[in-house]
Amino acid sequence: MDTNNVYIYGRMGNYMYTSWTGYVAPSSWGDINSMTMFDNNIFWLACDYDNILFTTNAGANWSVKKPPQYGNEFLVGSYSIDRQTVYMVGQSAGYPTAGRILQSIDGGNNWTLQYSGNVNLYKISFAK
């Protein structure tokens, strides 16, 4: 996040903050596969089983932003362009191989499928 603040995330919804105090994202949303921080308060989590978690207060409270037509996919990459525009990429949880790119331009309230194909997708990034 910056030179004084670090977040580490991983399995079973667990993450840690610089104080090395452990936290768990709400309920059991699976592994946290990607964490995108727009600023010190707005974070997006890409998780297993198409779960997207969002916070506006640095993780004190979380909202679930489930995309429509979700399936047996793991969301493994995320990128936030601004407060409202976020992308998620995913891969199939098994066979056959499949992946997709999702976009929201309204803070995660609505999601648009930008790509769906027979390749697993892992990460997404944009040049600034």
**Domain membership flag for residue 123:** no
In Å, how far from its chain's centre is CA 92?
15
**Domain membership flag for residue 90:** yes
**Domain membership flag for residue 127:** no
**Domain membership flag for residue 107:** yes
pTM: 0.81
Structural domains counted in the chain: 1
Ordered per-residue pLDDT tens for the chain, 128 residues: 566 666 666 665 666 566 555 565 555 677 888 888 888 889 899 988 888 989 898 888 888 888 876 666 889 999 999 989 999 999 887 788 888 899 999 999 999 999 888 988 888 888 87
**Domain membership flag for residue 19:** yes
What is the domain extent for residue 39? 7-117
Spatial distance between the Cα atoms of 28 and 42, rounded to a whole number of angstroms = 21
Q: 34: burial class by Cβ within 10 Å (0-12, 13-18, 19+)?
A: buried
Contact 116, 100 (CB under 8 A): yes
**Domain membership flag for residue 122:** no
**Domain membership flag for residue 86:** yes
Spatial distance between the Cα atoms of 18 and 2, rounded to a whole number of angstroms = 11
In Å, how far from its chain's centre is CA 19?
23
